[in-house]
Structure 1
Amino acid sequence: MSKTTLLQRLKAETRPHHERAESAVRLMEPGLTLEHYRHHLEALYGFFAPLEASLASLLTGLMPELRVDERWKLPLLLKDLRALGHDAASLARLPRATQLPPLPGLPEALGCFYVLEGSTLGGQLILRHLQRHFAGTPAGDFAFFSAYGEAVGPMWRAFGEAVNRASEAQASESFDARVIQGARDTFDAFEHWLRQESAEFTTYP
C-alpha cells in the first residue's frame, strides 16, 4: 500500500477551509457586473501584495525547484487592474490585508503557497466563465486567471513534486503538520478578507 503524500494530505485535511474560502469567491454569479469584477480584483490585490512580499522573504533562494519568481501573481493583478482604469496613485490607495496567515518558517510558507498555486489551477473554470460573461466588454485580458497559460498543469505538478520531496527529506510529522496548518490559516485569512471587502456587494442583480 503506497504512503499518502503530503500533497494528498493537504487536499484532504484542508477541505473544509478550502470550501469556505471558495464560497467567498462570487465571480461565477450570473449577475456579475464589471464593477463587481473590478472590486474582487482590488480585494485580491490587497491580499496578494502583502502576502507575496512575506513569502518572497521566506522562499526565495531556499527551494530553487519551486521557481517562485515565475509564480508571483501580483504583476498579473496589476495588469488587470490597470486595464480597468487604475493607475499608480489609485492602486496605492487600495486597502491591504493586515490579518495575514502567520508564516514563522518554511513549512507554513509552503502551506500558504499550496493555497495560492491551487487557486491558479482552480481559476481555469472562472477564466472560462469570465471570458463568456464579459464577451464584447472592455474587461481586459483576465491575466490573473490566465496565469501560466498552457503550462498550468505542468506548473502545478512541479509544485506538488517539490512539496512532496521537501516532506520526504524532512521525514517529520511535525514538518508536515506545520505545512497543513499553514494552508488552513491561509484559506481562513483569505476567506475573512474577501468577506470583509465584499460586504458592500452582498446583493447581485
Structure 2
Amino acid sequence: MLGGVLLSPESPNLLQSLKAETRPHHERAESVVRLMAPGLSVSGYRAHLEALHALHAFLEPAVAEHLEASHPELRVNERRKLHLLREDLLALGHDEDSLARLPSLARPPAVPGGPEALGVLYVLEGSTLGGQLILRHLARHFEGTPVGRFAFFRAYGENVGPMWKSFGEALLRACPEPALAPRVIQGAQATFDAFEARFREVSLS
C-alpha cells in the first residue's frame, strides 16, 4: 500500500514533477497522433480508437488491481473509459464478436505496483483534457457523417475539469513518500512511451 507522506514544501509536488519529467515522453506521444490531420478518414479514426482500446484494455485493470481498493479517494472505477471506446467502435461498424477479437497490446508497460499505477492514471486522466480539443475538431471534421457521439473524447462531459482537479487533489493525498516518487514518474513515462509505440503502428498502417 502506498504511504501518505507529502513532499516537503520546498520540493515540487508530485503533479509538478510528473509534468516536468514526462514532458519529452508526452510530446513524442502527441507527435504521432493523426486525429487532427485535415484528411482524417473514418477508417483512420476507427484505427486510432482500436489502438486506444488495446491500451485501455491493459492499463485500466492494472490500475484497478493496485489502487481501487487501497485508494478509494482516486475513484478509479468512475475513471474507466474502455466502455466509452466500445460504444464508439460499435458505432463505427464493430460488433461484440469483432471487439473481442481486437488485438491486445503487443508491448505493455510494466505496472508492478501502486506507484507505477499512479503514474499510469496520471496519463489516462490527463488525456481527458487534451481530448476536449480533439472532440471539437472531430465534431467539425465529421459533421454530417454517422460516426457516433465521440463518447471517449467526450469523457466526463462538462465534468472533465472538475474530474481532473479532483484527481490531482486525490493524487497528492495518496502521494507516496518521496523515495517512491521516481517510480510514479517512471510509470507515467512508460505509459506515454506505450501510447507512442501503439500510435506509430497506426500511423504506419
Task: State the match for 2:151 in structure 1.
Answer: 143
**C-alpha displacement of 1:3:** 4.0
Instruction: Please say if residues 59 and 120 of structure 2, whose CA atoms lie closer than 8 Å, have aligned partners that are also in contact.
Output: no
Q: Match of 2:35?
A: 27
Percent of paired sites with the same residue:
63
In 2: Cα distance, 1:133 partner to 1:85 partner: 19
2:191 aligns to what? 186
Alignment of 1:28-107 (within 5 A): 28-107=36-115
Q: Give per-residue Cα distances to partners, 1:51-97, cap 9 Å, x unaligned.
A: 21222211211110111111101000000000111111111221110
Correspondence for 2:135: 127
Aligned to 1:203: none
For structure 1, the residue ranges without an aligned partner over 5 or more in a row are 201-205
Question: What amino acid is aligned across from residue 157 of structure 2 in structure 1?
Answer: G
CA distance in 1, matches of 2:107, 2:178: 27
Aligned residue identity for 1:192 = A
Question: 1:197 aligns to what?
Answer: 202
CA contact (8 A) 2:119 2:187 kept: yes
Q: Distance in 1 between matches of 2:31 and 2:179?
A: 30
Displacement of 1:166 in angstroms is 2.0
Determine if the alignment matches structure 1 residue 111 to structure 2 residue 123: no
Q: Deviations over 1:86-145 (max 9, x none)?
A: 111111221110311111110000001100001111100000000000011101000000
Contact kept in structure 1, 2:128 and 2:153, CA below 8 Å: yes
Q: Distance in 2 between matches of 1:157 and 1:14?
A: 19
TM-score (structure 1 length as normaliser): 0.92
Contact 2:68/2:74, CA 8 A, preserved across alignment: no
- Match for residue 153 of structure 1? 161
Q: Which amino acid in the other structure matches residue 106 of structure 2?
A: T
CA positional deviation for 1:2: 5.7
Whole-Å separation in 1 of the counterparts to 2:204 and 2:70: 38
Match of 2:178 among 173, 187, 190: 173
Q: CA deviation at 1:197?
A: 3.3
SS of alignment partner, residue 198 of structure 1? helix
Which residue number corresponds to residue 21 of structure 2?
13
- Give the structure 1 partner of residue 4 of structure 2: none
* In structure 2, distance between residues paired with 1:127 and 1:119: 12
Amino acid at match of 2:73: E
Aligned-partner Cα distance in 1 for 2:33–2:65: 28
